[in-house]
């Protein structure tokens, strides 16, 4: 069950208790755990995320802006 809202709510409640230098690491842990349990997917990037949660989601879900519109190129080798 995808539950992006739960991740976002949990993150918004805990991030103010974290030292700014630790936020990206903790956000990555959150995203990783939620993904392992099938609780998030790429649609989380359509949400209004702060910079740490967005970076963690992009990194963990291996999403790049360049992926959209990319096409396979046949170099003829």
Domain interval for residue 61: 4-65
Determine the pLDDT at residue 75: 54
Q: Is residue 34 situated within a structural domain?
A: yes
Q: Is residue 45 situated within a structural domain?
A: yes
Q: Is residue 72 situated within a structural domain?
A: no
Nearest to 30 by CA among 46, 48, 49: 49
Q: Is residue 39 situated within a structural domain?
A: yes
73 has pLDDT over 90: no
Q: For residue range 14-54, list pLDDT tens digits in order.
A: 999 999 999 999 999 999 999 999 899 899 999 999 999 99
The Cα angle at residue 57 between residues 19 and 44, in degrees rounded to 5: 115
74 has pLDDT over 90: no
> 3-state DSSP helix/strand/coil percent for the chain, to nearest 5?
65, 0, 35
Buried b (16+ CB within 10 A) or exposed e, 17-28: eeeeeebbebbb
Helix, strand or coil for residue 77? coil
Query: How many structural domains compose the chain?
Result: 1
Q: Is residue 77 situated within a structural domain?
A: no
Q: Is residue 38 situated within a structural domain?
A: yes
Task: Record the pTM.
Answer: 0.76
Q: Is residue 42 situated within a structural domain?
A: yes
Confidence band, pLDDT 50/70/90 cuts, at residue 70: very low
């Amino acid at each position: 069950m995808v539950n992006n809202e739960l991740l976002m709510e949990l993150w918004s409640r805990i991030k103010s208790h974290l030292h700014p230098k630790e936020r990206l690491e903790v956000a990555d842990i959150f995203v990783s755990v939620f993904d392992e349990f099938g609780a998030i997917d790429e649609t989380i990037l359509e949400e209004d995320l702060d910079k740490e949660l967005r970076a963690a989601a992009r990194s963990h879900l291996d999403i790049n802006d360049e992926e959209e519109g990319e096409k396979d190129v046949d170099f003829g080798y």
